[in-house]
C-alpha cells in the first residue's frame, strides 16, 4: 500500500465515523423530542378528563351553593380559558389558565365545607375525589413533561448537537408552568367576605 491509499482509507474511516456520529446525535434528538410529545399527550388526556368532570361538579354544587355563584363562574371561565389555550397550543397561556382553575377548585372545595348537605352528596364526594386524583396525576405528569422538555432544550444547545439541531430545525420546547396562585393557601375567610 502506498501513502495515498492509506490517506484515502483514513479519510474514509473519518468520514464513516462522522456519519455514524451524526446519525447517533440525530436519533437521540428525535428520541428526546418524541419523549416530550409523549409526556405532553399524557398530560393532555388527563386535562381533558378533568375538564369533562368539571361541568358535572358545577351542576352538583349549584343545587346546594346558591350564594357561591362567583366561585362557580370563576371555575367555568378558567376552564374555558384552559381549553382555548390547549386548542391553540399555547402552553404558557394554558399553564396560567390551569393555575387559575386549580386555585378556583381549591376555593370551591374549601367552601364546600360549609355546606353539610353538599359534603354528604355522593355525586359531589365522587367528583371531588376524582378531580383531586386527576390533579395529583397531572402534577406528576407535568414533572415528567418538564423534565423531558428540559433534556431536549439542553441537548439542542450543546455542541455538537446544536449544529444538527439547527440544520434540521429542532426547536426549544416550553415547560408547563402553572400560575403562582396554585402555590398559595386558600383563604377560606376571604371567600365568605365576597359579595
The pLDDT value given to residue 146:
94
The pLDDT value given to residue 86:
86
Residue range 128-148: mean pLDDT, rounded: 91
Whole-number Å distance between alpha carbons of 47 and 91: 13
For residue 143, how far is the Cα from the chain centroid? 8
Residue range 104-131: mean pLDDT, rounded: 86
CB distance 29 to 164 below 8 Å: yes
Instruction: For domain 3-192, give the fold.
Output: de novo design (two linked rop proteins) (1.20.1440)
Give the predicted TM-score (pTM) of the model: 0.75
Whole-number Å distance between alpha carbons of 103 and 70: 13
The pLDDT value given to residue 2:
83
The pLDDT value given to residue 180:
56
Q: Is the model's pLDDT at 16 over the cut of 80?
A: yes
Give percent above pLDDT 90 in the chain.
42
Amino acid at each position: 500500500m502506498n501513502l495515498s491509499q492509506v490517506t484515502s482509507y483514513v479519510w474514509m474511516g473519518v468520514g464513516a465515523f462522522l456519519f455514524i456520529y451524526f446519525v447517533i446525535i440525530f436519533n437521540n434528538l428525535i428520541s428526546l423530542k418524541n419523549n416530550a410529545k409523549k409526556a405532553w399527550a399524557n398530560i393532555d388526556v388527563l386535562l381533558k378528563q378533568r375538564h369533562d368532570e368539571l361541568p358535572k361538579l358545577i351542576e352538583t354544587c349549584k343545587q346546594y351553593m346558591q350564594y357561591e355563584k362567583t366561585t362557580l363562574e370563576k371555575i367555568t371561565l378558567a376552564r374555558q380559558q384552559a381549553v382555548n389555550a390547549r386548542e391553540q397550543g399555547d402552553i404558557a397561556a394554558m399553564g396560567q389558565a390551569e393555575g387559575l382553575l386549580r386555585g378556583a377548585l381549591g376555593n370551591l372545595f374549601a367552601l364546600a365545607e360549609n355546606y353539610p348537605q353538599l359534603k354528604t352528596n355522593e355525586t359531589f364526594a365522587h367528583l371531588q375525589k376524582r378531580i383531586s386524583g386527576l390533579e395529583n396525576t397531572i402534577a406528576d405528569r407535568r414533572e415528567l413533561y418538564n423534565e423531558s422538555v428540559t433534556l431536549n432544550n439542553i441537548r439542542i444547545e450543546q455542541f455538537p448537537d446544536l449544529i444538527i439541531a439547527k440544520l434540521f430545525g429542532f426547536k426549544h420546547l416550553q415547560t408547563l408552568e402553572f400560575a403562582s396562585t396554585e402555590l398559595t393557601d386558600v383563604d377560606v375567610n376571604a371567600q365568605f367576605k365576597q359579595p
